[in-house]
Amino acid sequence: MLRRTSGSLPLLSNLVTRRCVLGTALAAAGGLTALALAGCVDGGDPAAVTATPPDAALPTAGSTTRVPPGAGSFDSGGVPIHYEVFGAGRPIILLHGFTASLLLNWVATGWVEELTAIRQVVGLDARGHGQSGKPHDPAAYAGDAMPDDVIGLMDHLGIERADLMGYSMGAAISLHLLAHHQERFTSVVLAGVGEFARDASISDGSLRADAMLTDDPDSIADPTAKGFRVLAEALGNDLEALAAYSLSSRDAVSDEALAAVEVPVLIVNGADDDLVGSPDALAAAIPTAELVKIPGTDHLTTVADPRYKQAVVDFLTNLPPA
């Protein structure tokens, strides 16, 4: 049985329902296959989610003791970061995509239920998203801020090393962590990812930011930016926070850093994903990387695809002991 905090169940049910309805409406408008959120799926039944508070004190940093299930938050550079812990065992940390949350990206799609059979799942809401703090200053998202949230969470929970999986925006954060903190991770899964994750300047975040801030969504010419705006608004996101993230600057991940990777890496992309750039060059740059492309899926539909789940479960199951 999955465990959640009080008050989350109505929110999850509401968001999943709105997401399913919205997906149909937006597909006709174009650009929606590029969105970094889960589709409508049968998995992740909200009725299977129950409320519980943390039932034990957290271990001190550096401890190998596993973290008890529950939820909480911690301060990361002045921004409160919400996290939740499911199950027990070897930990895996999950990082969601832009406009999404732990609930949408990983719970509603059945991922948490899938992974708790083999891992303890630790998920967080990225700053600007979900139940975490939502700064309106691009500087709050720039540089190492978002990767540092992940390291801060691990230190807060006393997790020395963990597996790591990120989707889209979460994969870009995971790639940075892989390049600069690989000693903290036993493996890394990068999904919904391509060349854009290596260098944020490749894509024009100002188009997305303008779409978030305009008073007239009908005036948005770019279909992908318009899709992000409509979806973000429908899901109740803080539009100014998403605009601030879109305008923030992050350093590109160097070829030298990727060439030095030694931990196992799995890259998973939809074969028809045309949003994030090709994953081939990224996979070639990481000596330990295995690349899996899911036929017939794009950036949106890969998230909940059972073939993505199976590839990850097989990868994690075959890893050496931590």
Residues 210-264: pLDDT tens digits? 999 999 999 999 998 998 999 899 889 999 999 999 999 888 999 999 999 999 9
The whole-angstrom separation of Cα 127 and Cα 129 is: 5
* 4: β partners: 51
The whole-angstrom separation of Cα 176 and Cα 258 is: 10
- pTM of structure: 0.83
- Given this model, what pLDDT does residue 201 score? 67
The whole-angstrom separation of Cα 212 and Cα 233 is: 8
* 76: β partners: 79
Report if residue 106 sits inside a domain: yes
- Number of structural domains in the chain: 1
Report if residue 322 sits inside a domain: no
| Rounded average pLDDT over 75-100 | 97
The DSSP code for 31 is: -
The DSSP code for 235 is: T
The whole-angstrom separation of Cα 165 and Cα 173 is: 10
Report if residue 202 sits inside a domain: yes
Q: pLDDT above 90 covers what percent of the chain?
A: 70
- Given this model, what pLDDT does residue 164 score? 98
The whole-angstrom separation of Cα 160 and Cα 39 is: 33
> For 261-301, how does the pLDDT look when each residue is reduced to its tens digit (9 = 90+)?
999 999 999 999 988 889 999 999 999 999 999 999 999 89
Q: pLDDT above 70 covers what percent of the chain?
A: 78
Helix (H, G, I), strand (E, B) or coil at 99: coil
Tell me which residue range forms the domain holding 142: 2-317
Q: Which residues contact 250 (CB under 8 A, 6 or more apart)?
A: 142, 143, 172, 176, 200
- Given this model, what pLDDT does residue 317 score? 97
| Rounded average pLDDT over 56-70 | 51
Dihedral, CA of residue 97, residue 99, residue 102 and residue 104, to nearest 10: -100
| Rounded average pLDDT over 150-167 | 98
Position 48 pLDDT exceeds 60? no
| CATH for 84 | 3.40.50.1820
Report if residue 149 sits inside a domain: yes
